[in-house]
Homo-oligomer: A and B are copies of this chain.
Amino acid sequence: DDNDDNAMDTYAAAVISSDQLGNTEMRSKLLSVQQIINELPGTHPRDFFSLSLTSLGDASRKRRAMMMNQYSVKNTIHPWFILPRGSEIVMAFGCMRALITREKAFIFDAHKPTIKQQALRISKQIMRRDRFAFRDGEIIFHHNGGKKNKTQFEVIMIEEIVREVCTMYRRRIHLYEPIVNSLMDRVASEAISPSGLHKLVPLKDSLQRFEMNVKGALRCITDLLSNDQDMVDLLLTEKAIAKSENRTLPIELHGNVEMMLEEYARQLSSTLLEIDFMLQRVQSKQDMVAITLDANRNRMIRMNLNLTIGGISLAFATTVAGFFGMNIQHGFEHAEGAFETIVAGSCLLGGGFLGSCYSHLYGSG
């Protein structure tokens, strides 16, 4: 009661509606909770909590908090569910939160530009759908017999939302690939700069969060696939017709929805495999860096050891020379050949030490 300003209670939604002739339209709306309930009288209050919508007020509050404190950035892991209710479907799939009826679909959080763009893409896709012309860089398939694919609006809507998210994920995979590949190539070069290492952490973090989201999507779809009744309940139109005719929908009707969901489950699980494989490669790259650093260190320590041996050989000679350089009479001051003898002797001493060290180091080891 203390916080009832309008922005707090207002939600931006993209409303996609379709008439009988297949004309699809998308409009942006600002709705209060009361208006949402008026439009969708059958929605369960609990579902609003599950959707965890962001009102306009919350959104601007968050934006302000994010500017002030860099650590409060919250990369929420998305909730994933497709819940059939009496006459609506409540759906949260990736960043998309939607309420779908037989004629309309409310896509929420439309104050974000990306969501708005996706809603627009979906509405266009639905319009083009009766011409059946897909082109994802892989196949062109023209199919003009629109009669066979007379699927209902709610099912098409679910498929388009799922497809949008799956396509987004597949596109993201293509973005990660060159990064991971270039990382793997640099393994061979010895000069691993610490700055290069620091790229590993955000890459791994980002891949792991991506993996979690894809896992969430996959689990959501496989949960739905394991429940035949829920799949039948998604057919709002046929459920309404059946209800008006006082019969229940036969469980066999789930076949079409099942085939559709299975395809996206396959797509998602192949995306998941790709991510897993990339993560494994990043991990083995990390292991490799650790071992390469170790091997290089050993090489340097071995060289240092050789140098230390050499240094001590010189120290022998220096010490001998130091003794004879003392201001103390030793009797050889003017002896013939003493200089040469002592220089040669001390060089031999050092050389002998050097030789015995090396023979110990490389002979026995």
Q: Tell me, in angstroms, the Cα distance from A318 to B319 when the chains sit together.
A: 5
Contact of A187 (CB < 8 Å), options: B141, B190, B201, B316: B201
Q: How many of chain A's residues have a CB under 8 angstroms from any CB in B? A: 130
A181 proximity list for chain B (CB < 8 A) = 71, 73
Contact of A328 (CB < 8 Å), options: B49, B135, B138, B335: B335
- A64 at interface, CB cutoff 8 A: no
Closest chain B CB from A232 CB (angstroms): 16
Decide: A300 near B297, CB < 8 A? Known: A138-B52, A307-B305, A333-B328: no
Interface locus among A20-28, A115-123, A239-247, A287-295: A287-295
Binary per-residue interface labels of chain A (177-205) against chain B in the complex, 1 for a CB within 8 Å, 0 otherwise: 11001101101101010100110110011
Contact present for B365 and A342 (CB under 8 Å): no
A52 proximity list for chain B (CB < 8 A) = 138-139
- A95 at interface, CB cutoff 8 A: no
Q: Tell me, in angstroms, the Cα distance from A9 to B133 when the chains sit together.
A: 13
Contact present for A323 and B321 (CB under 8 Å): yes
- A168 at interface, CB cutoff 8 A: no
Nearest residue (CB) in B for A276 is B212
A343 proximity list for chain B (CB < 8 A) = 323
Nearest residue (CB) in B for A182 is B71
Closest chain B CB from A153 CB (angstroms): 18
Contact of A322 (CB < 8 Å), options: B178, B301, B322: B322
Contact present for B324 and A324 (CB under 8 Å): no
Closest chain B CB from A275 CB (angstroms): 10
- A66 at interface, CB cutoff 8 A: no
Q: Tell me, in angstroms, the Cα distance from A139 to B293 when the chains sit together.
A: 50
Q: Tell me, in angstroms, the Cα distance from A182 to B70 when the chains sit together.
A: 9
Contact of A290 (CB < 8 Å), options: B1, B132, B204, B294: B294
- A35 at interface, CB cutoff 8 A: no
* A256-292 contacts to B (CB < 8 Å): 259-260, 263, 266, 270, 273-274, 276-277, 280-281, 284-292
Seen from chain A, the residues whose Cβ lies within 8 Å of a Cβ on chain B are 1, 3-4, 8-9, 33-34, 37, 44-46, 48-50, 52-55, 58, 69-74, 77, 79, 81, 132-143, 174, 177-178, 181-182, 184-185, 187-188, 190, 192, 194, 197-198, 200-201, 204-205, 208-209, 212, 216, 259-260, 263, 266, 270, 273-274, 276-277, 280-281, 284-305, 307-312, 314-319, 321-335, 338-339, 342-343, 346, 357, 361, 365
What are 15 A-B interface contacts by the 8 Å CB criterion?
A49-B141, A55-B139, A69-B178, A190-B365, A198-B292, A205-B280, A216-B273, A293-B294, A298-B300, A300-B302, A301-B304, A305-B307, A314-B315, A315-B315, A321-B326
